[in-house]
Amino acid sequence: MPRAQIKDEKKYQELRDKGESKEKAARIANASAKQGEKTIGRKGGKSPSYDDWTKDDLLKRAREIGVEGRSSMTKSELVKALRDH
């Protein structure tokens, strides 16, 4: 069933089938529909790896995007949660 807020339903379903969250799948599907899939694939890569961030920086980023349970996570758990969000 098509949803008005999802611009590329096929891409959205592919991402959901791979295990991506609804939010992330919608964000990627809508961006690729607007700008083209090849353009989206070239974006990013300018920020250092989460492994290089301090725990305080990871906590701040987790708070910004709404990762639940972040205050009790270790640094490696924060990195995984941010990558999986």
Please write down the HEC assignment for all residues of 16-66. HHCCCCHHHHHHHHHHHHHHCHHHHHHCCCCCCCHHHCCHHHHHHHHHHHC
Structure tokens at 31: 């961006």
Structure tokens at 39: 């353009």
pTM of the model: 0.50
pLDDT value for 14 = 87
4-42 pLDDT, tens digit per residue, is 688 788 888 888 898 888 888 888 888 876 666 655 655
Of residues 80 and 40, more confidently modeled: 80
Instruction: Summarize the confidence of residues 75-83 as an average pLDDT.
Output: 92
- Mean pLDDT of the chain, nearest integer: 82
pLDDT value for 71 = 93
